[in-house]
């Protein structure tokens, strides 16, 4: 985690430091405006007034230079560290077995790692908002030091009420948005079912569209109600907040317009107080909204660090489970046991068997018996909980039920993972054997509709191509996990 800590320190320190300096420059400008107004009102010399102008211009230029530096620093940090966490996650994924990578929560973690950098910047901005609020509050109290304690107390109460209202409004909006997105995912999924090619036959034969339309309408209406309720709640909160802000403004105007108050402060101080209050109220709004990015980032960071350390993931996997077999072209299982992560029961237990090259084997069983799980153990995609696998084969390949097709030509597809020097004659021989040689453009037929020359093969034709790719591998061990009467063939 050294790079991750260095990454965090670089982001936090650089961005917080630069933005803090910018805010200090802004507050210094307020002080200089105070002096300038007082010097003009109270007939200071022209030399002093000119110096005030010069210092204000200098600070204004410095503020803009710092803003440019902040953007440059952000670009540099983005370039250096944006891919640090995703790369670390991918590095961990390379060491994990497929049984963990297939889990939905692991897939969510991998997906969320892409947003880690943006969440880091949001977290930094949130910290800066709180720091700016503290600095503005200190400066405001200093400006109001000559006013009454009552004025400071009333201002503090009004500001606190405004913050609480903004916080509650933001919290409600965040909760509504979370529920809306959950509902939106459901109605988007139902919408996809109505347009995807895989469901076209059942839509026509079983008339599934009516049932899916009803569910889609139900989820869509629920999302609309959530969105409407969120809008009403947010509107009420904004009205209440604006009322408080108007109250603060009216209080400042009337209180500081009182003769006794005007005698205790200068016009420059009055201007500085009003400007500082305006900036502080703006920071109040940001701070209320920043509570949830801070909480979200801490949760994401904890989750990703736990995943990167990954001690919890590898529990239950046997060490040194695979060894070289003393016999060539033989694959032996010795008391093999497997249990899925966080399951209480073994999926496979006490499996002992020997597969020999040149022989054909069929594994038959009901759904859920563990046939595909055993196949993935044989291919080293899963790690057994206990037992050993003695492997005397040089190369293994497989064809699973959920094989994938890519937007490439038939030739490119068949050579994936195989010898790139395979002759066209050998490829055509295998295709002829599988009765899959009558393609529109032969081996150059694109397996995609993204080009004019592309074609859309039937599921049976695609399965034959996948089998051909497995046969062309010339592996010692070919495993076919296909839905043929619930059996797995090991060739």
CA 444 to chain CA mean position, Å: 38
pLDDT surpasses 80 at 463: yes
pLDDT surpasses 80 at 237: no
Partner residues linked to 480 by β-bridges:
399, 489
Alpha-carbon distance 238 to 420, whole Å? Answer: 65
Domain ranges of the chain: 2-309, 322-394
Query: Can you tell me the mean pLDDT for 52-79?
Result: 88
pLDDT at 320: 58
Q: Name, in order, each residue with C-beta under 8 angstroms of 487's C-beta and a sequence gap of 6 or more.
A: 362, 363, 364, 365, 371
Alpha-carbon distance 376 to 65, whole Å? Answer: 59
Give the residue with greater pLDDT, 405 vs 371: 371
Alpha-carbon distance 400 to 267, whole Å? Answer: 81
pLDDT at 485: 45
Q: Is 362 in a helix, a strand, or coil?
A: strand
Query: Can you tell me the mean pLDDT for 70-81?
Result: 82
Structure confidence at residue 61 as a pLDDT band (50, 70, 90): very high
pLDDT at 3: 52
pLDDT surpasses 60 at 370: yes
pLDDT at 199: 73
Give the residue with greater pLDDT, 50 vs 442: 50
Q: Which residue, chain included where needed, has tokens 């929560």?
A: 105
Alpha-carbon distance 179 to 475, whole Å? Answer: 50
pLDDT at 57: 92
Highest mean pLDDT, choosing among 27-41, 456-470, 476-490? 27-41
pLDDT surpasses 70 at 327: yes
Query: Can you tell me the mean pLDDT for 186-215?
Result: 76
Q: What is the mean pLDDT of the chain?
A: 79
Give the residue with greater pLDDT, 21 vs 149: 21
CATH number listed for the domain at residues 322-394: 3.40.50.300
pLDDT at 316: 47
Give the residue with greater pLDDT, 405 vs 472: 472
Comparing 11-15, 190-194, 252-256, the range with the smallest average pLDDT is 11-15
Domain 2-309 has CATH 1.20.1560.10: yes
Q: Is 236 in a helix, a strand, or coil?
A: helix
Comparing 187-201, 296-310, 412-426, the range with the smallest average pLDDT is 187-201
pLDDT at 64: 92
Highest mean pLDDT, choosing among 61-65, 234-238, 398-402, 464-468? 61-65
Structure confidence at residue 369 as a pLDDT band (50, 70, 90): confident
Partner residues linked to 338 by β-bridges:
348
pLDDT surpasses 70 at 449: no
CB–CB of 77/7 below 8 Å? Answer: no
């Amino acid at each position: 985690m050294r790079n991750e800590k260095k990454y965090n320190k670089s982001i936090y320190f650089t961005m917080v430091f630069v933005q803090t300096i910018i805010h200090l420059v802004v507050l210094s400008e307020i002080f200089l405006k105070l002096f300038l107004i007082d010097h003009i009102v109270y007939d200071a010399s022209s030399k002093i007034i000119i110096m005030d102008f010069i210092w204000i211009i200098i600070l204004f230029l410095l503020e803009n230079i710092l803003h440019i530096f902040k953007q440059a620093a952000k670009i540099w940090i983005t370039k250096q560290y944006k891919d640090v966490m995703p790369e670390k996650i991918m590095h961990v994924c390379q060491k994990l077995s497929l049984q963990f990578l297939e889990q939905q929560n692991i897939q969510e973690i991998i997906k969320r790692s892409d947003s880690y950098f943006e969440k880091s910047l949001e977290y930094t901005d949130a910290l800066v908002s709180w720091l700016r609020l503290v600095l503005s509050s200190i400066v405001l109290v200093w400006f109001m030091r000559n006013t009454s304690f009552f004025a400071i107390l009333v201002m503090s109460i009004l500001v606190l009420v405004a913050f609480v209202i903004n916080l509650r409004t933001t919290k409600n909006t965040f909760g509504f948005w979370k529920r809306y997105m959950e509902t939106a995912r459901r109605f988007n999924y139902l919408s996809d079912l109505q347009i995807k090619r895989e469901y076209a036959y059942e839509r026509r034969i079983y008339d599934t569209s009516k049932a899916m339309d009803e569910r889609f309408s139900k989820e869509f209406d629920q999302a609309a109600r959530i969105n409407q309720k969120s809008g009403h709640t947010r509107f009420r909160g904004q009205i209440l907040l604006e009322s408080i802000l108007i109250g603060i403004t009216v209080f400042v105007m009337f209180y500081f317009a009182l003769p006794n108050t005007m005698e205790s402060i200068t016009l420059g101080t009055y201007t500085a107080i009003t400007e500082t209050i305006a900036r502080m109220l703006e920071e109040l709004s940001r701070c209320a909204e920043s509570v949830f990015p801070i909480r979200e980032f801490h949760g994401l960071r904890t989750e990703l660090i736990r995943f990167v350390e990954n001690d919890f993931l590898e529990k239950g996997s046997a060490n040194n489970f695979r060894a070289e077999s003393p016999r060539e072209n033989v694959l032996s299982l010795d008391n093999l046991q497997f249990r899925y992560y966080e399951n209480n029961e073994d999926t496979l237990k006490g499996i002992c068997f020997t597969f020999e090259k040149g022989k054909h084997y069929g594994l038959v069983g009901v759904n859920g018996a563990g046939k595909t799980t055993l196949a993935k153990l044989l291919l080293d995609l899963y790690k057994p909980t206990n037992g050993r696998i003695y492997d005397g084969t040089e190369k293994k390949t497989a064809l699973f039920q959920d094989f994938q097709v890519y937007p490439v030509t038939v030739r490119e597809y068949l050579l994936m993972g195989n010898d790139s020097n395979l002759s066209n004659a050998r490829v055509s021989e295998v295709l002829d054997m599988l009765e899959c040689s009558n393609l529109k453009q032969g081996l150059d037929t694109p397996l995609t509709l993204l080009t004019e020359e592309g074609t859309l093969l039937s599921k049976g034709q695609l399965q034959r191509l996948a089998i051909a790719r497995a046969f062309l591998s010339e592996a010692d061990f070919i495993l076919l996990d296909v839905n043929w009467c619930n059996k797995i063939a090991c060739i």
